[in-house]
Structures are given as structure tokens and as C-alpha cells.
Amino acid sequence: MITQLFALWTDGLAAAWIEASDLLRHRRVFQLRAHARPLTLNAVHGSTIEPVVSFADDLGDKLPRTVLEQTRGGIVEIVVPPAAILQRRLDPLPAESAPYLEQVVAHQVEALFPWRAEQILHSTVIEKRPDGALDVTVRATARSAIATELAAAEACGASEIQVVSEGKDVARARTNAIIAAVGSENQQRSMRAQSIARYAVIALLVLAAVVIGWTTFTGLSISSDVAALDREIVDRRAIINRLADAAGAGHNSGLEAKKRSAPIAVVVLDELSVLLPGTTYLTDLTLDGAHLRISGMSANAADLVPLLEGSGHFKNASFYAPTTRLAGGSTDRFSIEATVAPHPTERQ
């Protein structure tokens, strides 16, 4: 089954390639009129017919080189009277028989026409009926009746010899032409086209397999890489979260420790307001960590240092600038520095 499908595929590609190449190149068409004497080969240029060469009755003479160069590879049409082509229609056939129609026709051809099978040249026309069945029409003529014309066409080196019915509708006649022979050139073209089609199909199948394999491998590789990357991202995030938690905890503990160890300015000011006598006024207070500096005016400046030391809230109290007596002699300007001792609640 696979072999038959492959053969049908390649044959179809080969036929399409040959048909396309025939459309692209100029087809040289010649005609031989059956039973005309002398038998003359005419070149067909549209509606114009131009004589090329006449043949002797015995066809013993070879064609001149110039004529053979012109006719070789062309299509030779043998024009016969309408009565020379018989037409028969087979009984309707099922659509499934389409691949085997030629075998069916070959089996019945002697029963359809009054000639022996080897003498019959025929063509098959297939039409599809509305019910899906096939109407098969067979058109045939006798090879012996045009033997001279066939020999002349072969002498011209024709790539294809067709038998067409004489009439005004030339296009229809060519559509219903009977293929009498296919020259060696066309046979070689067909063989080359089939070989190319086979190699092309095999190459496409191999390419498709490679592409599918590579795509599958790439997809699996990418999926594996994405999974590994996801795992690495999760691990990195976990590490970052742990570091952030540790840093946050350390930072907070440091802040708490600093908060507990550092004096609070409001508390220090409150303690000073309780300790200092009513005759003492502060003009400046600086608290840098636990280092306190105060400046102001007092009637008893000399008593301030012992007062601070004895309170238990301050230590290392001393004047850091000379004390000066203000005008009037009852008030001194002082500058004292001291270390703030930890609060009792902070020492717990």
C-alpha cells in the first residue's frame, strides 16, 4: 500500500513537472494528412500551415539534416477523417475502479472495436456522473490504416505522435487526440522526471524527519533548561530571602540595641530640669550619643559639676571652657560637658 502511494505520488509529480515544462517551452507542432499523396509534413504556426518536407512512397531516403534538426523533439499530428476514429462507451463503473481503468479498457478493447488488440490505437475519456460513478468513453483507430504516416512521423524524430480527427474545431480535436507513440526523447524525459520526483520525495521525507527530530530534541532540551532555570531561580530566591531576613533581623536588633544604649534627649532634658537650681538657665544643649554639652548662666556655676556627678545620671562632668562673671557680679556664664549614664530602665 505504501509503495503504491509512493509510486502514485512520484508519478503525479513527474507528470506535473513535464506538463509545466511543456507550457514554458515552445511546442513545435507538425501535421501529416493521412492518405495524402505525396505525403507532406507541414509545420503548424497557429492557423498557418507551412510545408516542410515531402516523403517518397517507400520512405527509404533519410531526411536532410536541416529538416531533422527542425522536426526532432516536436509533436507530429496525423490527421484522419472522422470516420476513421470509432467511439464506444463502457457501462458505468464505480469510482473505486479509477486506478484500474486502463486495465479494464485493455481487457475489453477487442470486444469494442473490429480490430485485433495489437492493431488498436485508443484513448480514454473519463467523466464523473452525478451519482459518483464513472462514464468511460474509448476512442480508437486502426494502426494498419496509418502505418505509412506513423513511419514518417518516427523518421522525423517526433517526441510524440498523435492521431487527431479532421474538423474545424482544432482545439477539441487535439483534446481528444489518440496518442499513437511516445518518442525516445519523451520516454527519457519521463524517466528523468520520475527519478527526480523520487529523489525529491525522499529528500522531503528525510528533511521532514530531521526537522521533526530536531524540533523534538530542541523542545525537550529547552524544557529541561527551563526546568533547571526555574529550580535555580527558586534556590536563589530562597537564599535572598534568608539573607534579607537575617539582615533585617540584625539591622533591627542593632537599632534596638542602639536605641536602648543611646540616651534620649527628652529624658536628658527632663533630668536636667529637675537637677539644675532655679537660678540656672541653659542657653545651649548638645547631645552627641552619650556626650552632653550644656552652656548657660547660673548664680552658682561652681556647684553645678558636683550636682551633676552626684545625681547618678551623669559622670565625668567638667568645665570645658572658662567660667566668666557677667556684669553686675551675681551671674556666671558656664560651659560644662559630661557623659550621660545609662538610664536605670536601659540597664535591665
pLDDT at position 143 is 92
**Per-domain residue ranges of the chain:** 29-72+74-182, 265-347
Pick one of 1.10.8, 1.10.10, 3.30.110, 3.30.420 as the CATH number of 29-72+74-182.
3.30.420
Q: What are phi and psi of 58, to 5 degrees?
A: -90, -5
pLDDT in tens, 143-152: 999 998 898 8
Q: According to the model, what pLDDT value does residue 120 have?
A: 92
pTM: 0.49
29-72+74-182 and 265-347 have identical folds: no
Q: What are the DSSP E strand ranges found in the chain?
A: 29-33, 39-45, 48-55, 75-80, 86-89, 120-128, 134-142, 160-165, 178-182, 280-288, 291-298, 314-319, 324-325, 332-340
Average pLDDT over residues 16-24: 60
Give the CATH class of 265-347.
alpha beta
The mean per-residue pLDDT over the stretch 319-330 comes to: 83
The pLDDT of residue 253? 55
Segment 104-112 shows an average pLDDT of 91
Task: Let me know the angle formed at the C-alpha of 240 by 239 and 244, rounded to the nearest 5 degrees.
Answer: 120
Cis-peptide into 38, omega within 30 deg: yes
More confident residue, 154 or 190: 154
Which pLDDT score, from 0 to 100, does residue 227 have? 87
Is the per-residue pLDDT at 346 higher than 50?
Answer: no
Per-residue pLDDT for 342 more than 80? no
Is residue 57 pLDDT above 70, yes or no?
A: no
Q: Is 144 exposed, middle or buried (0-12, 13-18, 19+ CB in 10 A)?
A: exposed
Residue percentage of the chain with pLDDT more than 70: 82
> How many contiguous H segments (helices) and E segments (strands) does the chain have?
9, 14
- The pLDDT, as a whole number, for residue 188 is 59
